Amino acid sequence: MEGKLTGEPEKCKYHESPSPSLPENKEKELITNHQSNRDPNCGTDVARARWTLLRQVLRQKQLDSADSEVKQVSVRRFSSFNLFNKTSVMHQETDDPSEGQWVEYTSASFPEFSAFLRDNLGPIRVNEVLNSFDNTGNVYERGTFRRLEIAPKDKPDLWRSTIVFLRSWLISFDFPMMSSKEALEFEGVWPSEEVMAHYCLKKRHMFRGAVCELGGGMTCLAGLMIAICADVKEVLLSDGNEKAIQNVRGVIERNRQAGVFGSTDVSSRVVRWDCETDVTALEGHFDIVMCADCLFLDQYRGSLVDAIRRLLRPDGTALVFAPTRGDTLGEFCQLAEGTGLQVCRYEKYDEQVWDLHLKMQIGGKEAYDDNIHYPLLITLTRGASPTHLHLL
């Protein structure tokens, strides 16, 4: 077995937090309500820039490259632990260039393992993310989804909301404590997915039987790496968004042609956590279920817990990688324990990732905020902690 977790698992800590009420579905009222809750100490220029950016998101406009105020608050900060080296790949004759660029992801620690990913199959817009229920958008495209912080961190009672114009009405949903003083614009594989993929490579000998990744987004990188490196019977790559799964199917086929799967049966399908038909079809089938950064949507957190519990075999284990994001991780753990699952939480689960985390903290929260960037490892089992998987 390669490497073990260092330190004992921490018991999840829970915090009760009130659920925000949805504002009226009118743009004017919604913006007015949020402006009235703004911190009066916020700088005028920053506040103006935030609302300029918000208006552009609501109207589905791209950022004005000449608008320095907007660009100042839309800068993407930390985006990767650099656990994978990325190399652009020439298109094959059968490839449609409009379907995006193929990139080879090679593990920096285990360079014998690599996978072909297609980072871009056209924009997954916010309405598609919301309608997919469990899609975390583990690959985000430039300019298609921005997360805006409305209230500062020293006002925890004020909720951060991403507001989008969706089919002629407004939907407001919660992203507690997403960033410090800016809107985040994501593209590429999310840090939690990247870390989970690295962890799976390092712990590849613990995987067996059937494995399922939930909410894997456009690439399902971690599940893909298991299919490549581990001696498993089958791997199911899933997401709640059909467009994401369309891309994943292409990714599977490209890697199958490269001959990297061996005898492992690799498949993909749409799995919505709150869809009874989707969950029932897979009930009790998997030895390991895993997901990365899928805990932040309040209305589907309980559905995720239920789906994980039902998809696992009696002796199965779930691996969940996610940052704390305010109370969202704690609330997930609380829901899981409420269903009878054994919950263990690990902060220091990989020496390399931990060292990178400590180095990133030196730069301060303006560049790296562990609340939103550093994923903890949560294990869920029906019985005792998962010692049989050599996690401890």
- What ranges do the domains of the chain cover? 189-389
Looking at residue 372, its pLDDT comes to 93
Tell the burial category of 382 from Cβ atoms under 10 Å away from its Cβ (0-12, 13-18, 19+).
Answer: middle
Tell the burial category of 65 from Cβ atoms under 10 Å away from its Cβ (0-12, 13-18, 19+).
Answer: exposed
Return the beta strands (E) in the chain as ranges: 84-88, 102-107, 114-118, 139-140, 146-147, 161-166, 169-174, 184-185, 188-189, 210-213, 234-239, 265-270, 286-292, 312-322, 342-346, 376-381
Looking at residue 389, its pLDDT comes to 58
Query: Is 3.30.565.10 the CATH number for 189-389?
Result: no
Integer Cα distance of 132 and 62 in angstroms = 24
Exposure of 26 in the CB half-sphere (CA atoms within 13 A): 5
The pTM of the full predicted model, rounded to 2 decimals, is: 0.71
Mean pLDDT by 10 residues, the chain (392 residues): 48 39 41 42 49 53 44 58 94 66 96 90 47 43 33 39 30 31 47 98 97 96 98 98 94 97 98 97 98 92 98 97 96 97 97 97 87 97 66 51
Say whether 152 sits in a helix, a strand or coil.
coil
What's phi and psi for 232, nearest 5 deg?
-120, 160
What's phi and psi for 361, nearest 5 deg?
-65, -25
Nearest to 321 by CA among 356, 351, 293, 350: 293
Looking at residue 134, its pLDDT comes to 42
Say whether 103 sits in a helix, a strand or coil.
strand
Amino acid at 253: E
Looking at residue 117, its pLDDT comes to 96
Say whether 301 sits in a helix, a strand or coil.
helix
Looking at residue 110, its pLDDT comes to 98
